Structure 1
Amino acid sequence: MSSFVVALDVGGTSMKGGIVDRSGGIVLTERRDTPREKGPAAVVQTIRSFIDHLATAGGGAPAGVGLAVPGLVTADRALYSANIGWRDVRARDLVPLDAPIMLGHDVRTGGLAESVLGAGREISEFLFLPIGTGIAGAVVVHGEPYGGNAGWGGEIGHIPVFPDGDPCACGQVGCLETYASASAVSRRYSARAGSPATAEQVAALTASGDPVATEVWNGAVEALALALATYTLLLDPAAIVLGGGLAEAGHLLSDPLSERLQKRLTFRAAPPLRQAALGVNAGMLGAALLGWRAAGSPDVGATWSLDVLKSPPVA
């Protein structure tokens, strides 16, 4: 068997690829743009070309290929993605190599990596909540991400937190994502202040006491507390692992969120909030785990050293 797998994390904006060996060493990482504006066929061709390039850089055929992709996903088909535009794409059509393949949902694959390698390594029941351009969650049960009946499990970003609130792009009203995603924080601040700002800039303005930024930030925290209280009462997680760009605000987010979540849970203790450990490498490392599973080595990863967390981010 080959000594490495090819791992690819496909996002709506960019793809993060890597070669990962059996001991968890990241031999190589690279990034390419996702050409979704050119249509799904162009995205598929870019994925095939990227995988071929990584395999060649690894020195031959990989033991397996793991792919993390957005949308509705099974282990062997990318059924639908609104961001990319594809429908019912076979895993085999994404990979130009004669190697075992396994697909995974992008967020659940990141949750798998946090479970096996990162912030959830010592717990079996938790929510992985990356807060970025949008919000989705990985429901981790017994150490494995749970996709639900049809693969839609974990869509916490579309829990209505304010039933009479703002419309969401999904067609519902008052969704968590409309208030607490990084794009929502940026949009809501810009509309109130009359000048554009990124979510990172809104966080900095909040820390400095800017009243408009503080109002927007507090609204995001309240929306998160409402959604996470519902999640906690339903599934009783041991922890909530926060990731994504907004979580980079650290205590500016986690301290008020922890306080408000506890206030919502009047008769029980709130689960602790943890910072995700793997950062931008989570999806790619999760894809590597899928690649080794496809290769018939499902336990690879369980013995990987935590030094994997020190691996360089994707350039």
Structure 2
Amino acid sequence: MAARVLDLVTELLDEAEAGGCAAGAVGVAVPGIVEEAAGRVVLSANLGWRDLDLAALLAERTELPIAIGHDVRAGGLAESVLGAGRHCRDLLFLPIGTGIAGAMILDGRPYAAGGYAGEIGHLRVEPDGRPCRCGGGGCLERYASAAAIAGAYAARAGEPVTAAEVAARVAAGDPVAVAVWGEAVEALAVALGAYATVCAPELVIVGGGLAGSGELLLEPLRAALSARLTFQRVPRIVRAELGDRAGLLGAALLARAGAGAP
């Protein structure tokens, strides 16, 4: 897989140069645990990588400045600079898809903690709850991810569906869908309440596939979170603006910074 990535980067650089727009740096966003400063992928289960010095490999191949980022943090960076959070210094970017992760922007800067920060999908929202692939149980991801919502509906209704179909059935008043959706919203409110207490974000930007449900998700989530908070700052909750381009744009921003551009 690493060889394929190196070949793809080389092809893209050649295409850019042939088009009269030679690249000055390379940015790559990777899922998993990533040490951005070192340019090292600690673990990417989806790609089968462990302790891979990706920046060094790319630098050797391209002879250009290299920036390596985490895919969600890169997306959060893009939303904070170019998207829904561009006028905000403290925010959480929360993409909800097959899983749930978070990109923390604190005082205007992405916070990575060596690649381990932002795993909000593994906050425990239900004591002795559903087992999670992380080895724990009761994790947010097991209640509020798109996969969890679809699975919970299928288990109760006996019918395989997607999360988007569950959302459509919520809008149509399907009682099973409404119950599953409400549980997901409540789980998100529990996790965001904990995050708001510790980090006090001004803004939560919801992205990923589930953000496509729009106010069907955001309106009850705002209400549920507000009801849980007492003295804490209540963050605004909005939909991401950049969609699937967020990670790509974030990688470009990392490359731009790596090349010394402002």
Task: Indicate yes or no: 2:9 matched with 1:44.
Answer: no
1:24-50 per-residue CA deviation (whole Å, 9 max, x = no partner) reads: xxxxxxxxxxxxxxxxxxx21221121
Check whether the contact 1:47–1:94 (CA below 8 A) recurs between aligned residues: no
What are the superposed Cα offsets for residues 203-258 of structure 1, whole Å, 9 maximum, x if unpaired?
A: 00111011111111111000000000000011111111111110110000000000
Higher mean C-alpha displacement, 264-273 vs 124-133: 264-273
Correspondence for 2:210: 246
Q: What pairs with 1:1-315 in structure 2 (closer than 5 Å)?
A: 43-59=1-17, 61-75=22-36, 76-90=39-53, 91-94=55-58, 96-148=61-113, 150-297=114-261, 299=262
Q: TM-score when scaled to structure 2?
A: 0.94
TM-score (norm 1): 0.79
What's the offset of the Cα at 1:83? 2.0
Structure 2 residue identity aligned to 1:83: N
Equivalent-residue separation in structure 2 for 1:84 and 1:211 (angstroms): 39
Three-state SS of the structure 2 residue aligned to 1:59 is helix
CA deviation string 1:53-86 (max 9, x = no partner): 2111111652000010011112311111122221
The answer (yes or no) to whether the contact 2:196–2:232 under 8 Å persists in 1 is no
Distance 2:27 2:158 in 1: 44
Q: Is the 8 A contact 2:167 2:213 kept in 1?
A: yes
Q: Find the residue that maps to 2:221 and give its secondary structure.
A: helix
Instruction: Count how many residue pairs are aligned between Structure 1 and Structure 2.
Output: 255
Q: Give the letter for the 1:279 counterpart.
A: G
Higher helix share: 2
- C-alpha distance after superposition, 1:146-191 (max 9, x if no partner): 012x321000000000012111111111000000001111111111
| Unaligned ranges ≥5, structure 2 | none
State how far apart, in whole Å, the 2-side matches of 1:161 and 1:268 are.
Answer: 19
Aligned-residue Cα RMSD (Å) equals: 1.2
Amino acid at match of 2:90: E
Offset of residue 266 of structure 1? 2.7
Task: Structure 1 unaligned segments of length 5 or more: list them.
Answer: 1-42, 300-315
- Note if contact 1:138-1:145 (Cα within 8 Å) is conserved in structure 2: yes
